[in-house]
Amino acid sequence: MPANERSSASNNIDGAYKSTGLKTIELKPLSYSRESLMLTLVEGERHIALIKVSASKTRVRAILKYIGEEGAHVYDCRLREGEDVTPLCFSKLARELDERYPGTGEGVAEALVKAVKEWESLLEYAEIKDVEEMVKAGVQPILELETEKGVVRVLSSDGAVLDVHGGFLNLGDCVVVAESTFAYTELVGGEESYEKPNVVGLAAAYCYNEGELKLKETHWFLPLQTRLSLAGRLVRLKSSEKATLTYHTFADIETLKAVADGRSMDADWKSVGESIVRKLGDYIVFTDERLYSVVASYIVMTYIHDFFTAVPFLFFHGPPASGKTRANLTTTYMCRHGVFVADPSEATMYRLVEAAGPTIGIDESALSERAKRILAAGYKKGAVVPRAEPTKGGVVLKLFEATAPRVFSFTELPREDYLIQRIIPVNMVRSRPRREQDPSPVEFKEIREKLYYLRLTRVPEVLSTMKRTLEELKQRDVWGRELEIWAPVYTAAVLIGRGQDVLSYILEDVARRRESELMYAEEKLVFYAIDKLFAEASEPLVGVEKICEFTASDLQEKIINKLLEEANCLEVKADELGGEVVKPKADAKCQKILTDLVKTWSPPRIGKVLEKLGFDKYKKTVGKGSRAKKKYVVKWSDFAKIAKAYDYEPQSQGEEKKSEQ
């Protein structure tokens, strides 16, 4: 039970703990458990000291600490078996208190005695209040089990759980949308700091009334709570990870208070969307104007992504000095709970999501394969990362939330198909924006506050738009993974009045994906190189299937030449015999590209791609003695079968007919 509820509970028992005979100082309760009582000495509205009391059958201990002073005073009182606590137990505390506040010691000692004697009554009252809350919420204990430490009530197999950093819950007849922020709070009592940044959250419950979704109630919550009652339901709060830093991109407490008080803010989806587009235009240059609408919609989507079952990732990619990092910063700082990180570890990624529910901006990091898998897992709502962690009681399996929007800025697109399928790629080019200095989170505060306000107050509009856009995309033959990627973004686009631009871009993107221009890009380059070798191989005897022998180094040349050609860095020159030969251009730009490609497309990397594609089983030793060498020996039919599985159509299709004959 929260401290304020405990305090009111104690006041219902004949004004428990209040010391009598004191004009300016009184003793008030803060919290209590079976182990200890926590009280505070108050002079008017000023807290002057804290007192913690613990008791057993033979001893009572009181610890007094004056607020603002170092150290604490400890008072022990020994009791005989069955002996009651009397003011004599606190006589030393009373004398020392009289030295500071004359005439107060006796009253405080009497009040402490009263507190200890009514301790059990207060605990029983708290238990009754807990049961009352469950009954009001329609939750009845299924079982009550006696244990050494007390009675354990079994409430249900499962229930509604809300993260303290916020979230969305569908309770059937009601929905709950929650938002949180970091605010400086004063903790009165306990053993922690008295002023520190803490999570403060607000939950808004919307329920259906005659088919219409309407706001029913709002409720504040804190991490120290374990549950709260919303719309007649008991909702448990989940707070397994703690963030010790504050983030400038979280909501201002005044915005949440405006929602709780029912005050209106000057905010609507369309005007906020226009503001976002203007800010993007200050810092980012896109060659396709529609991308301003797409990225603005992605930013708005982060404020409602938990309404959906999946969340796509935004991926800025392009050459050095193309503004990728600035685009990432600009986008992330306008997103919900935006946090920009450099080179995050695997543990950081899932613990950060668990603690803060952020939008994570990731810039040019060297990600391990495991880290990439964790990122990919964060695409689906409810995805968790299991981790076994040692505790005092043994190893415990923990499940960490992994779902979160992510914004990447990398030179190249990811090579892994499982990541390609989850991203919205944005190609950046070298250009000069209106503002070249990186933005700060403070610059976008007004945009964020309006979006936080709209998230909490426009739930019916979001849900109705979401239903409409899903149907529209399905009618446009957008389905499966493509629907999961684009539905949240398109819903946001319609809300901010940018639906036409974004829908046009979506349909083109879906067409590209289905043509596999983005899918298996790395694999297709390797297939292309093998295909070229097959075309150059000598013709076999009639009725014999063509076979190609090659190494990873043989493929390297073909791949590099293709990429140089695409970069317009190849030229035809005459050789020594008067023939023609294709060579890389000698200018600095093309030589730099050549150097980079040789490093990027190294034989070991090509070998890993071949292994992933399953070509390792075709490795054989070719030659004898010192000339023996490991090579891939592949039949045309085997190559064609593997290539087609990755949507690559071999160019030398005539070979397939020969093999069939």
Question: What CATH number is given to the structural domain containing 352?
Answer: 3.40.50.300
Token readout for 419 is 């990541």
Mean pLDDT computed over 64-81: 87
- 614 found inside a domain: yes
Q: What is the mean pLDDT of the chain?
A: 82
Read off the pLDDT band of 660 (50, 70, 90): very low
Looking at the structure, tell me whether residues 484 and 348 fall in a common domain.
yes
Q: From CA 107, how far away is CA 557, in angstroms rounded?
A: 92
Least confident window among 146-150, 192-196, 327-331, 561-565:
192-196
Asked whether residue 594 is assigned to any structural domain, the reply reads: yes
Distance between CA atoms of residues 491 and 271, nearest Å: 16
Judge if 167 and 111 occupy the same domain: no
Q: What is the DSSP pairing of strand 629-635 with strand 619-622?
A: antiparallel
Is residue 261 included in any domain, yes or no?
no
**Are residue 532 and residue 509 in the same domain, yes or no?**
no
Q: Which residue has the higher pLDDT, 230 or 484?
A: 484
∠ CA 333-334-337, nearest 5°, is 70
| pTM metric for this prediction | 0.61
Q: Which residues contact 158 (CB under 8 A, 6 or more apart)?
A: none
Who wins on pLDDT, 277 or 520?
A: 277
- Rounded to an integer, the average pLDDT of 601-607 is 92
Three-state SS string across 431-482, please?
CCCCCCCCCCHHHHHHHHHHHHHHHHHCHHHHHHHHHHHHHHHHHCCCCHHH
User: To which H or E segment does residue 588 belong?
Assistant: helix 588-600
Tokens of 474: 């399905």
247 domain residue, yes or no: no
Is residue 332 domain-resident?
yes
Number of domains in the chain: 4
Beta bridge partners of 201: 180, 221
Task: State whether 107 and 171 are in the same domain.
Answer: no
Residue 73: phi, psi to the nearest 5? -105, 130
Residues 475 and 575 placed together within one structural domain of the fold: no
Cα of 645 vs its chain's centroid, Å? 34
3-class DSSP assignment, residue 562: helix
Instruction: Say if residue 158's pLDDT is above 60.
Output: no
What is the reported pLDDT for 424?
94
- Which position has the token pair 């946090």? 339
Which position has the token pair 């891939």? 632
Burial class (CB in 10 A: 0-12, 13-18, 19+), 615: buried
Residue 19 sits at φ, ψ, to 5 deg, of -70, 145
Spatial separation of the C-alpha atoms in residues 641 and 661, rounded to whole Å: 16
- How many residues are given for the chain? 661
**What is the average per-residue pLDDT within 318-340?**
93
C-alpha span between 482 and 157 (Å, rounded): 35
In tens, the pLDDT along 500-533 reads: 999 999 999 988 887 765 566 788 889 999 999 9
| Residue keyed to tokens 């990092």 | 325
pLDDT in tens, 109-124: 888 888 888 877 767 6
Tens of pLDDT, residue by residue over 202-245, are 999 999 988 899 999 999 988 777 778 787 777 888 876 555 55
> Greater confidence, 659 or 41?
41
* The pLDDT of residue 530: 93
Q: Does 18 score more than 60 pLDDT?
A: no
Minimum mean pLDDT among 27-36, 92-101, 467-476, 562-571: which range? 27-36
Burial category of 215 from C-beta neighbours within 10 Å (exposed 0-12, middle 13-18, buried 19 and up): middle
Please check whether residue 93 lies inside any domain of the structure: yes
Alpha helices by DSSP H, listed for 54-166, are: 91-100, 105-117, 119-136
For residues 194 and 312, membership in a common domain is answered with no
What is each CA distance from 473 to 127, 467, 487, 510, in whole angstroms? 52, 10, 7, 11
**Taking a C-beta distance cutoff of 8 angstroms, is the pair 523, 555 a contact?**
no
Least confident of 265-274, 428-437, 647-656: 647-656
Q: State whether residue 23 is helix, strand or coil.
A: coil
Residue 192, pLDDT > 60, answer: no
Lowest mean pLDDT, pick from 233-237, 382-386, 475-479, 558-562: 382-386
The residue type of 491 is: T
Residue 136 located in a structural domain: no
d(C-alpha 637, C-alpha 253), whole Å: 66
Indicate whether 417 and 285 sit together in one domain: yes
Strand 174-186 and strand 195-209: pairing? Answer: antiparallel
Are both 465 and 597 inside the same structural domain?
no
Q: Can you say whether the dihedral through the CA atoms of 127, 130, 132, 138 is positive or negative?
A: negative
Residues 26 and 75 in one domain: yes
Looking at the fold, whether 312 and 164 belong to one and the same domain comes out as no
Same domain, 509 and 535: no
Least confident segment among 69-83, 221-235, 273-287: 221-235
**pLDDT by residue (tens digit) across 376-425?**
767 777 666 666 666 666 665 666 677 889 999 998 888 776 778 889 99
Give 262-270 contacts, CB < 8 A, sequence gap 24+.
265/449, 265/450, 265/453, 266/450, 267/449, 267/450, 267/451, 267/453, 267/454, 268/454, 269/300, 269/454, 269/458, 269/461, 269/495, 269/496, 269/497, 270/496, 270/497
Cα(583)–Cα(278) distance, integer angstroms = 46
Q: How do strand 25-32 and strand 37-43 relate by DSSP bridges?
A: antiparallel
Q: Are residues 291 and 365 in the same domain?
A: yes
Has residue 129 been placed in a domain?
Answer: no
> For residue 172, what are the domain limits?
160-239
Kindly give the pairing relationship between strand 160-163 and strand 233-238.
parallel
CA–CA separation, 399 vs 421, rounded Å? 25
* The pLDDT of residue 7: 38
**CA-CA distance, 657 to 454, in Å (whole number)?**
62
